[in-house]
Structure 1
Amino acid sequence: MATSSSSTKEAVLVTGANGFIGSWVVKTLLENGYTDIHCSIHPSTDPSHLFSFLDPFPEAKLSIFRADLLDAAAISKAVEGCAGVFHVASPCTLEDPKDPELDLIQPAVQGTLNMLRAAKEFNVRRVVVTSSISSLIPNPKWDENKVIDETSWTDTDFCKSVQKWYSLSKTLAEIDAWKFAKENGLDMVTIHPSTVLGTMLQPGLNASSAVLLQLLQGSNNPQEHQWLGVIDVRDLAKAQLLLFESPAASGRYLATNGIYQFSEFALKVSQLFPDYPVYRFTELTNRGIVSCKDAAKKLIGLGLVFTPLEETILESAQSLKAKGLLSQ
């Protein structure tokens, strides 16, 4: 599978197009010659910032589709006419959900299936699903001496026991997605980003950027059961395009610029921002995590080059300041 080799690239859909990751996927697609992009967004949200990306690309167009993930008919309209789908949309809240089943699990699982059914109906060539490290960890059965890789699957029973509802939603959604793809001969790959940081193109604060914000404000949350490392949002968007366009791409892809303890990340942040009350962890923050600089071997093998962590942290913090979320 590959996109058209001609200069005119076919239409593609980005779900959750106005979110943190989705916005960068749209921008990256435009920068790489895609001129017909369908953007599905939750009906209650504003996509207006996306149109500023069009200024350097007068020949390009963005078509907005207001589609709840649970509205199969609306999702079908967004998919129709597209050669590829970048399925980014999935609920992720800053606060604990009041009703995990209704708020997270149903939209993640059923929403993904609605999108895949539409992709099958309209003969989409490849679907790139944004999953998460949350469908790789927590996995208490994993060998503690082995580096986490794409063969790891989150333990759903453990998630329920520790109330990691987001991890449960992403894992269940991916399990059902692979089942559907294999039963229906659908070309699908999944990408599993760690904590995504970088410049926020969207108006509001997203959950992964909040991890850095809270750390800079003195939080001592060790990110237990939900941390492997960081990926720059620009790298994640490039990786999505790489997976769509690379004929050899298949299966699951871990997307992280290394694996290391959250305590190491906090130390790096405190060194970069000595005037902020960054908590200094003295104990192990993430049990069962083996450090590895090139953990995303599959993506690296396809040619992805990661942005240095320090650059990602600095740009993310600057973005938080620019939006008035972090004091100068």
Structure 2
Amino acid sequence: MKTGDGCKVCVTGGSGYIGSWLINKLLVKGYTVHATLRDLKNESKVGLLKSLPQAHGKLVLFEADIYDPIQFDPAIQGCQFVFHVATPLTHEPGSSQYKSTTEAAVAGAESIAMSCVRAGTVKRLIYTASVVSASPLKEDGSGFKDAMDETCWTPLNDSLEYAFLDDPLYKEYTYSKTLAEKHILSFGNDENGRGGLEVVTLPCGLVGGDSLQSSALRSMVVCIAQIVQNEMAYKSLKFLEGLLGKIPLVHIDDVCEAHILCMESTSISGRFLCASSYVSLQEMANHYARYHPEFNVKQEHEDGPKKDIKWTSTKLCDKGFVFKYDAKMILDCCIKCARRMGEL
């Protein structure tokens, strides 16, 4: 195991689900971590990070908001690696600077990349992307391709409309994550004269597993939507299956280990899909019915022709990465965590 003694890294969105778990792992490995939060006066979020083992003397907190991207400069200064985890989920209506979440996310991605270039010390920028950017839908709206891998980019056109379930939030999130990822990847292109930054994007599947937080997280509740009878969370599951054919699942621990592999590799750049399993709603319901008969599981009915799309992404594993958690382990972890938090 490599240790990070003497190496400074920055994590944006430090108090979120992925951000806090990643910071914990980095501190344990000896890295000095600069973490950004939107509000340093939020005692529960600040307290969570300061209470992490090894935080004393190794964790420095900075206030920065994606809606004011220049604020990230001090946090990135002197760092060798930057993990851009923060993302705006809903639009701040009071913003005079941006008209939408998409505009804020793209501008934020550009600003973080420019901060990395200005710092002069940053070797690599690692962006936490989402699989909503990698839909295997065909551009002409005639259905799905045979496989889902890194060559798939969500077609941002009318062929998507049925997947959004008449909810503008899903559309906004999909557009923002797709366009921000494409934009941030452009900074890894030496020809643009932007400092030759190495850029890695990790479009992550639906993240489940345990949590450092004390209250239930949206993505974890989505994973167990079929047994908690949460209509909003279930709608998110339906959206993912409609957009991606099936649902890519990944454990929070695997997500963070993948981020760290992308940092500790000698040289790496480009796009790496991050999910250990690719399952249908029917398969998830079958799992809950079989292994957790104590719950009333939402019944699934296959809509239209069966989608036989294969998950063919191997790029992370080709770099030596090994996923430790399969679908069963992820879903069981979600149930255990939800029970602990009083959600079940």
TM over 0.5: yes
Structure-2-length-normalised TM-score: 0.82
Distance change (3 Å), C-alpha of 1:277 and 1:309: same
In structure 2, list runs of 5 or more residues that go unmatched: none
Tell me, yes or no, if the aligned pair for 1:37 and 1:61 is still in contact at 8 Å: yes
Q: CA deviation at 1:73?
A: 2.8
SS in 1 for 2:339: helix
Give secondary structure in 1 for the equivalent of 2:273.
strand
Distance 1:102 1:233, change over 3 A: farther
Q: CA deviation at 1:302?
A: 1.8
SS of match in other structure, 2:254 = helix
| The one of 162, 169, 175 aligned to 1:168 | 175
Letter of the structure 2 residue corresponding to residue 40 of structure 1: T
Task: Give the alignment of 1:275-294 within 5 angstroms.
Answer: 275-284=294-303, 290-292=309-311
Deviations 1:63-103 (A, max 9, x none): 1111001223311111111110011111236xx99899755
1:305 corresponding residue in structure 2: 322
Shift, 1:47, TM fit: 2.5
Residues 103 and 26 from structure 1, CA distance in 2 versus in 1: closer, same or farther, beyond 3 angstroms? farther
Alignment partner, residue 28 of structure 2 = 31
> For 1:238 and 1:285, how far apart are their aligned partners in 2?
37
The equivalent of 1:322 in structure 2 is 340
- In the TM superposition, residue 181 of structure 1 has moved relative to its aligned partner by 3.4
CA distance in 1, matches of 2:214, 2:33: 21
What's the Cα RMSD here?
Answer: 2.8
Shift, 1:228, TM fit:
2.9
Q: Distance in 1 between matches of 2:264 and 2:337?
A: 30
String of CA shifts for 1:135-177, please: whole Å, max 9, x gaps: 1126333983521000111111248744422111101111221
Question: Which of 105, 108, 111 is residue 111 of structure 1 equivalent to?
Answer: 108
CA distance in 1, matches of 2:92, 2:282: 27
Which of residues 56, 66, 69 in structure 2 aligns to 1:69?
66
Q: What are the ranges of 5 or more consecutive residues in structure 1 without an aligned counterpart?
A: none
Counterpart pick for 2:80 among 71, 83, 90: 83
Partner of 1:187: 198
State the 1:197 CA deviation: 0.3
Q: Equivalents in 2 of 1:284, 1:51: separation in Å? A: 48
Which residue number corresponds to residue 51 of structure 2?
52
AA of the residue aligned to 2:286? L
Q: Secondary structure at the match of 1:240?
A: helix
> How many percent of aligned residue pairs carry the same amino acid?
27
Match of 2:125 among 95, 114, 127: 127
Per the alignment, residue 285 of structure 2 pairs with: 266
Sort the Cα spacing of 1:271 and 1:92 in 2 relative to 1 into closer, same or farther, 3 A.
Answer: farther
Conserved? CA contact 1:159–1:167, under 8 Å: no
Taking structure 1 as the reference length, the TM-score comes to 0.86
Which sits farther off after the overlay, 183-192 or 58-67? 58-67
